[in-house]
């Protein structure tokens, strides 16, 4: 995987986690709204056709929103904690990719 592939995957994952947080915020805000159905964002790996000889071709994340019924406030807070952790890990991956790119540029220059 290339450095740009690492960074692209991390950005895609950050966007997916942002979508999860937005859906959770909507669920919490509307939990008392009559007729509101809770929404859950599910992220899956976006499969792409490999175009090079590398072992992996990053494709990003595919996001789908599903209605899940009633809002469970405990479950919503668990989702927020999971999203916060995943966001932090992917932000660190992005930072590491940037550091690798800078190091490579320093070696080349």
| pLDDT tens per residue, range 58-68 | 667 788 899 98
CA–CA distance, 10 with 92 (Å, rounded to integer): 9
pLDDT, tens only, 9-45 = 888 889 999 999 999 999 999 999 999 999 999 988 8
CA–CA distance, 45 with 43 (Å, rounded to integer): 7
pLDDT band at 103 (very low <50, low <70, confident <90, very high): confident
């Amino acid at each position: 995987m290339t450095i740009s592939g690492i960074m692209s995957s991390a950005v895609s994952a950050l966007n997916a986690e942002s979508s999860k947080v937005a859906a959770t915020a909507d669920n919490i805000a509307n939990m008392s709204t009559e007729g509101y159905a809770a929404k859950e964002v599910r992220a899956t790996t976006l499969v792409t056709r490999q175009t090079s000889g590398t072992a992996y071709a990053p494709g990003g994340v595919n996001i789908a929103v599903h209605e899940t019924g009633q809002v469970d406030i405990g479950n919503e807070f668990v989702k927020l904690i999971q999203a916060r952790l995943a966001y932090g890990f992917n932000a660190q991956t992005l930072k590491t990719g940037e550091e690798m790119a800078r190091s490579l540029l320093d070696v080349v220059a």
